[in-house]
Amino acid sequence: MVAQKRYHMRRPSFSIVMLAYGLWVLFPFLYLLVLSLSADWRFPDIVPNYIGFKNWATVLGGETGLAKSFFLSLFISVLVALSSTLCGFFLSRIVNYNKKKDLWTIISYFPYVLAPVVFGACLSYYFLRLGILGTTFGVILAQFFIAFPYAMIFFSPFWTEKTKDYENLVATLGGSLVQKFTKVLFPLSKNLLLICFFQTFLISWFEYGLSSIIGVGKVQTLTIQVFLFIKESNFYYGAMSCCLLMLPPVVFIYLNKRYVFNKIL
């Protein structure tokens, strides 16, 4: 009875704490959204002189090139995530079943020894010689070099002795290599594949330094556009591009929670 009373006594303060926490977490996002809908908001005005969809209409109208950058970034990130997840999955199998597994794993960490900008500077010489500097393909390839080792490392714990036993079992039951993958390995690793796809997508989606060096201003990804608006002190377009930048991660967090995390837990 006493404990129940205490619980009831705690509830209002607990709600206030939770509300404050919620506001603290959500405030930057809400503020960005308001800023993206605003115009002519000058000191000392408390509220903006204009709130509406003018900025968004401009974007959708294609004047700023933001829509184009959004779809270009989406294209690059999907391709990088897809290729690095699949290559990482297949190659980590080869590496983890190899006797020199430890050496290959250390090599996988190598791209992360250098900062992306330095790594980009190293790559730019070879990309220039290959004629892919300043091209979308060049940016995809450069981002792949960062995302692919991540996928390799990510899948390492999956290739255990037990996984190998599953593979051997399928083989002795008469299964081919393709059937090993389609009937057993892909279904077993379905959630890992999805998480790796999301993670590598985000690595590519938020990548700035490497893309700006390899893209040399010709490949305008969304992160490059965000920085351009910030440099120009165009807060409204900057906020709007940040909202666009947040959109895929929010969708992925939702999908992760809905289809992956719940099944793991």
Outline where DSSP puts E strands in 52-159.
Answer: none
146 in Cβ contact with 111 (< 8 Å) = yes
The least CB distance from residue 140 to another protein, in Å, is 33
26 in Cβ contact with 250 (< 8 Å) = no
Positions that interact with another protein (CB under 8 A) = 162, 165-166, 168-176, 179, 183-184, 187-188, 190
The least CB distance from residue 183 to another protein, in Å, is 6
Nearer to another protein, 11 or 190 (CB): 190
The least CB distance from residue 102 to another protein, in Å, is 18
Share in percent of the chain as helix, strand, coil (round to 5): 80, 0, 20
Q: Packing angle between helix 66-96 and helix 190-205, nearest 10 degrees?
A: 130
Nearer to another protein, 167 or 207 (CB): 167
Give the CA distances from residue 6 to residues 2, 3, 10, in Å, rounded to whole numbers and listed in that order.
6, 5, 6
State the CB neighbour count (10 A cutoff) for residue 1: 5
151 in Cβ contact with 88 (< 8 Å) = yes
Nearer to another protein, 49 or 168 (CB): 168
The least CB distance from residue 178 to another protein, in Å, is 10
**Measured over all CA atoms, what is the biggest interatomic distance in the chain, rounded to whole angstroms?**
79
Q: What are 50's strand-pairing partners? A: 39
The least CB distance from residue 116 to another protein, in Å, is 38
The least CB distance from residue 179 to another protein, in Å, is 5
| Main-chain phi, psi angles of 51, to 5 degrees | -130, 125
